Chain A
Amino acid sequence: MSQPVELPSEIKVGNVIDEGHSLASVSDKIAGIVLKRKTTFGWIVGLLISFAVLQSLMAAATMLFVKGVGVWGINIPVGWGFAIVNFVWWIGIGHAGTLISAILLLLNQSWRNAINRFAEAMTLFAVMCAGMFPVLHTGRPWLAYWLLPYPNTMDLWPQMRSPLLWDVFAVSTYLTISAVFWFVGLIPDLATLRDTSKKRWQQVLFGALALGWRSSARHWQRYEKASLLLAGLATPLVVSVHTVVSFDFAVSMIPGWHTTIFPPYFVAGAIYSGFGMVLTLMIPVRKFYGLEDIITMRHLNNMAKVTLATGMIVSYGYALEAFFGYYSGDMYEKYMILNRMTGPYAPFYWCLILCNMITPQFLWSKKIRTNPLILWIISIIVNIGMWLERFVIVVTSLHRDFLPSSWSMYWPTVWDWATYIGTIGLFMTLIFLFVRVLPIITIFELRMLLPGARVKEPVAR
């Protein structure tokens, strides 16, 4: 136990939160976004656009269910196209949330507090988008539940050797933990909303969701414990989910897939794209909701640094992939990497290198890291780059594998695009609803950052 520290009544907590905030002002500001702020025209337009885009998913899925997966551009040899590209992309995006909420919590990174709620919500929505693809991409989606190990009269179990089955477990666990973590973290804030709201229906709604939270010390003690436990559970998931997703490729024998570097490289890529997406969403939200004082430059700076670091790991992955292609001496591997660089999909590969290897280098500059507009543009490039990476891995490996006679090309159809863009619509719709109805920033955690928030006697843990 450390000695009690005499805290000054005013303290500068770096620039995690700007000066001038008090306990009440923080609550008012964040809760006010939900409770007091008028539904703005911008929000309605944004939601409507997102919802309209979501309809393309509806149309594409309907078409898919009626006609079959043949409405997409997939073929033999390229049996997986956009569906798997998008699945991996969305799952990757999800990773930032878990990393921020779990790992940074364990590492006691106070700057995470302003962004974790949002990032967790993003995780949840991204995993929802991702989770749809494995079902949609099956030839007979109405039988996709056969991938679940459920007792049945045929006494048939799924095949435990298949990475796709590991995916089922990994992704469903991930979704469950993320949802629970997110909701548990929401409880104190829901109680705040219940207590601040003036309207009866809001009080009832938030009251029900707050599960009788009374802010008692016992509640807090249990809450802290639960958070830590969940963070402990979620931490391995950050690593495991994308590792398992990478197994889909690494376990197979296709040149370009069969690579031992895939697990770490996929995890780094996931965090990279996840932070990219957090930046993409956070920068506008911060601007439109006037949260510059709560989501400060320090946040952007830190996120940019993480992006840079993971971007470097990913770049290392690309370099090694190319090196091993050459060094293995295996003609299939050699051809694979050569084909990526010079084959029909070479523009995709070089775009990917541009997006993921070159662009992050700008983040070495502090000027750029603290310029929200440029940072936002870079974050979008990162997202595109990571999507291209998955496209290159999935398509260029499959389209030319062992026997030259079966080499072919894959081009997405309008339904591929509609499905993809539709999930972006779904994601954005959920984000819009989230920012309107729930506090996008953890109120109580922010308050803890404020001067005088901590009791003088540290709570025994």
Chain B
Amino acid sequence: MSEQNESLNLTSIQNKLEQAKGSGYWRSLDELASLDGFKEFLHREFPRQASEWIDDEGRRNFLKIMGASLALAGLSACTKQPTEYILPYVETPEHLIPGKPMFYATAFPVSGIANPVLVESHEFRPTKVEGNPEHPASMGAADVPTQASILGLYDPDRLQSVSYIGEIRSYSSFLENFIGVLEKQKAKNGAGLRILTETVTSPSLGAQLQEVLKAYPGAKWYQWEPTGHGRRMGAQLAFGQFLNTTYKFDQAEVVLSIDANFLGNGPGGVKYARDFISKRAVRGGVRTQSRFYAVETTPTATGVKADHRHPIQPSHVEGFVRNLAAVLAGGSPSADAPVPAEAAKFFGALVKDLQAAKGKSIVIAGEDQSPEVHAVVHYINQLLGNNGTTVVLTASLEQKPTDQMADLKALIADLNAGSVDALLILGGNPVYNTPAELNLRGAIQKAKLRIRLGMHEDETAEVCQWNVPEAHAFEQWNDVPAYDGTISIAQPLIAPLYGGKSLHDILAAFTETPEKSSYQVVREYWQAKHAGADFDAWWRHSIHDGFVKGSAAAPVNATAKLIAPVAGAAAAAGGYEISFHSDPYILDGRYSNNAWLQELPRPISRLTWDNAVIVSPKTAKELGVSDEERVSIDFNGHSAWGSIWQVPGQPDGSIALTLGYGRRRIGRAGNGAGFDAYPLRAAATPYFARGAKVTKLGETFRLAAVQHHFAMEGRNPVHAGTLDEFKNDPYFSQRQSELPPKGLTILPETFKYEGYAWGMAIDLTSCMGCHACVVACQAENNIAVVGKEQVLNTREMHWLRIDRYYRNEVENPQTYFQPVACSHCEDAPCEVVCPVAATETDAEGLNNMVYNRCVGTRYCSNNCPYKVRRFNFLLYTDWETESLKLQKNPDVTVRSRGVMEKCTYCVQRINYAKITAEKQDRKVQDGEIVPACAATCPTQAIMFGDLNDPKSRVSEWKRESTNYSLLAELNTRPRTTYLADIRNPNPDVPSTEARGTEKNS
């Protein structure tokens, strides 16, 4: 097709006519008729593509388009269902082998930070996300939101069309209107134009925005995201400039986390987890571990893995870090903010450890901590000589780093002044997630024209006139930096399902007509950056790899200063402290319509579908409330109603609130889940606040937890010990449960597994309970979502669950994670009781579930001591929603009602590898088969392979002295075994360990 005169074709003329209304209609037609282009159009009688018939290349395209439009004509013309034909490709697209998936590198950005991924695509239908093994930030692993992103793509509740005040419009009619507005603004230099985006990190998008601001000098661009201020502004406070901080956990001997949930969460989480665990795993002759201290305002999956973890009230955090800074600088703790009693126990030991590991330690502050805390932590790292060694400072990855709270206030001031003619909200959901007292919702309606680009018809869409569907990350071209600045050029996997547009598309419409596609924008940007003859090769290479090699941000030198405490920071005492935390999965609420994430149990609270008012058991007693009792929390003139959930290890007197819930308008999964904590989050106290009032409401609201019992009851499902214990007695783990002799069976040894013998080992030291494996399993194996009601009756379907156990005192228990899936027992109790032989162990030791044969007696599940079988009590699989069908993995049976299911060790992957190996006349090699859980595990805690191969890594793991079978005393001979959880507590810290005296939660 020729590139010229693109503006005039049949579609655009039709669109133009479509826009015209009333009396204007004829005038428009007159005007239209007077256009030169239109005359030409009339002259040629046919749409201009017709002339392409002569041109060979063009003819093919024309035929394709004609074919397509004829097919579409059939779709739209009549009410009768069109006849559908299944046709083979006339020309197979390049590289496509039906049935064989293809993998494309791209990136899934969260808050502007790329998670590098490979997306599995079946006949151009993306089905599964894997980490990009070549990318330094992923190394094949992916975190929870990234794993679940594929469901976000197929979310049936996505905004599906452009609308104007509720009426469906075409995109071109939006553009026409928008360009009209722009033309008016041109005269005012764009003074009435405001653009609100989330944090922008894409270089091409940044350039586009600058161009827009150049063309409309009066226009303003603001950014707002509810989280991430602490980190951004902390660097600004400490260094006087916006800097990005990355960490090298693989070089850190001592780590102190100040409320930081850095393992597997947030920017670089996957990489940090890998690095951190590389210093923690005690395998293959390694007999050392780094030491990890955590000071937390609410238990996180990261913090509970610490050797010493101490709960601390949010208001004490700053005092704690300041004292630490003072002591490390050679002074003594300040008198007016002494080290809180909870932390005093290990403070001395911590200081000693940190001083001994200068340049080899990391102090890291969490996302939910204030800029002051971050600033002091920067200073501490500098004191310890970590900056430049384990802590790397680079220029900010943001295109325009700014105080977003100030941005927001400025925007609201503009709005209230009535000076905004057109407000573009590009992404984000500010009406929902901005501080309530600023009343953005009211202010926004003072803008004359409100345009929103968004994925859902949400709270912000409600107050905007124009709503344009936003393209999903897998539907658009983009360029985003990873946590260390490495640029990923993200390619789309599928044409936008609902005609979604990217930010690039919208911004392109500002300056050019017709607007450039996002592909052109991104490509042209990088062409300018990487000019030269080899651009094409470079471009193709970068897209293929998923990232631009060597594009990581360069380290900078900066000196942190110790900032002075803010005077009058101590607010009114009395009442309770409340701290705000983004949810580990749905984050600030942006993924709240993702049913996988909603149903994924939170690592600590084990809750699904709701957030809760997290309090310590002691505080609950003080309040006279029990679990699931509803309370009202009042602060700053606003209140939130939530259910109490007691979590051991939560600091007394403080309440942790999770953001991102209580959505009114988002979709079927997010609506009505949990309560909205944003109203309590005042602009002045976005991290924590003091003086909240808690009132009992005298009613209960049930919470769906997947685990109800948290003590081990002396059964030691998790074998755990300290590094010293391990050094003294490498076989300590074998003594923590009863082991029957292997020959203790009345059954004859009838079967020798002679070919492959598949098995798995899970290193509990490495598992940090992030749940990425669970959601990866869900995506890979077409596991259904069951909903809150079903979870309440413990009918969740996850094949893999991560049990969480407590040990020792309730105030601050030792916490252990244990992933449990089908153990593929050699003497499987499930097998003998099935009356129809629907579950059988095969010659390679896989306990196979034959869905077709299952009649659903559930006897197998009753007799399974691990309770890992899952039953389709009802029709859980959604057979109705079209978009969700696209996500299904074609290699895995979609189960229906009345059938038992369970972990298969990803048998489809095993067989794929076996077939490949057989075709090449060789054995399957170690590492060739990676189950979905193991593939995505950021810490590589799961190892799978052939037990008959003594050199396989899984065999090596199983030879470790810490290797044990769960419930070994039952002699089921599980193929999945565990390596004991080993921690490295400081012997100088008074021990609270008292094995055997565990308490129930």
Contacts and interface: CB of A to CB of B under 8 A. Distances in A.
A252 B863 contact: yes
Interface string A379-399: 000000000000000000010
A156 B805 CA distance: 43
Interface in A51-100: 67-71, 73-77, 79-80
A74 B858 CA distance: 10
Main secondary structure of the interface of A (DSSP, over half): loop
Contact of B874 (A67, A138, A402, A408): A67
Given A146-B836, A147-B835, A156-B837, A403 B717 contact: yes
Interface in A38-62: none
Contact of A162 (B714, B832, B900): B832
A162 B834 contact: yes
B867 A401 contact: yes
Given A68-B875, A140-B898, A407-B709, A168 B862 contact: no
Nearest to A73: B793
Interface in A127-179: 137-141, 143-144, 146-147, 156-159, 161-165, 168
Contacts of B837: 156-159
Nearest to A166: B835
B788 interface: no
Contacts of A162: 832-835, 859
Interface residues of A, number: 50
A139 B898 contact: yes
Interface stretch (B115-123, B194-202, B513-521, B849-857): B849-857
Given A76-B861, A79-B862, A254-B862, A402 B970 contact: yes
A140 B899 contact: yes
A405 B805 contact: yes
A69 B898 contact: yes
Contacts of A253: 829, 863, 865, 970
- Determine which residue in A68, A146, A168, A407 has the highest number of CB atoms from chain B within 10 A of its CB, and name it: A68
A269 B859 CA distance: 23
Interface residues of B, number: 54
A75 B792 CA distance: 10
A137 to B, nearest CB: 7
B526 interface: no
Given A76-B867, A79-B862, A398-B862, A165 B874 contact: no
A95 B804 CA distance: 47
B856 A75 contact: no
Tell me the dominant secondary structure on chain B's binding face. loop
A158 B835 CA distance: 6
B707 interface: yes
B794 A77 contact: yes
A404 B899 contact: no
Question: B867, B871, B874, B875 — which one has the most chain A CB atoms within 10 A of its CB?
Answer: B867
A187 interface: no
B999 interface: no
B800 to A, nearest CB: 13
A403 B967 contact: yes
Contact of B897 (A139, A251, A335): A139
A75 B867 CA distance: 11
A158 B711 CA distance: 40
A252 B834 CA distance: 11
Contacts of B712: 404
Interface in A400-424: 400-409
Nearest to A404: B709
A172 B856 CA distance: 20
B100 interface: no
Contact of A168 (B707, B793, B818, B835): B835
B859 A79 contact: yes
A139 B861 CA distance: 13
A331 interface: yes
A159 B867 contact: no
Contacts of B861: 76-77, 79
A139 B900 contact: yes
A408 B873 contact: no
Contacts of A398: 862
Contacts of B714: 331
A252 B715 contact: no
Contact of A139 (B713, B790, B805, B858): B858
Contacts of B829: 252-253
B805, B874, B899: residue with the most chain A Cβ atoms closer than 10 Å? B874
B865 A76 contact: no
B853 A146 contact: yes
A403 B865 CA distance: 7
B836 A163 contact: no
Given A139-B871, A403-B717, A254 B863 contact: yes
B75 to A, nearest CB: 33
B895 to A, nearest CB: 10
Contacts of A332: 715
B801 interface: yes
Nearest to A154: B853
A76 B871 contact: yes
Contacts of B869: 76
Given A76-B794, A168-B835, A402 B866 contact: yes
A226 to B, nearest CB: 34
Nearest to A161: B832
B835 A139 contact: no
A407 B833 contact: no
A140 B899 CA distance: 7
A335 B715 CA distance: 11
Interface string B864-903: 0111011111110000000000000000000001111000
Interface string A358-392: 00000000000000000000000000000000000
Nearest to B867: A406
B720 interface: no
Nearest to A407: B709
B805 A138 contact: no
A68 B833 contact: no
A180 to B, nearest CB: 26
B712 to A, nearest CB: 6
Contacts of A67: 874-875
A143 B707 CA distance: 33
7 contacts: A68-B898, A80-B859, A139-B900, A147-B835, A147-B855, A253-B970, A335-B713
10 tightest Cβ-Cβ pairs between the two chains A and B: A139-B856, A139-B898, A70-B873, A79-B858, A70-B874, A405-B803, A406-B867, A140-B898, A164-B835, A159-B837
Interface of A: 67-71, 73-77, 79-80, 137-141, 143-144, 146-147, 156-159, 161-165, 168, 248, 251-254, 331-332, 335, 398, 400-409
Interface of B: 707-715, 717, 790, 793-795, 801, 803-805, 818, 820, 829, 832-837, 853-859, 861-863, 865-867, 869-875, 897-900, 966-967, 970
Given A68-B873, A74-B873, A79-B861, 20 more contacts: A69-B898, A70-B795, A70-B873, A75-B873, A76-B861, A77-B861, A79-B859, A138-B857, A139-B855, A141-B898, A156-B853, A159-B837, A161-B833, A248-B859, A251-B832, A252-B863, A253-B865, A403-B967, A404-B715, A405-B801
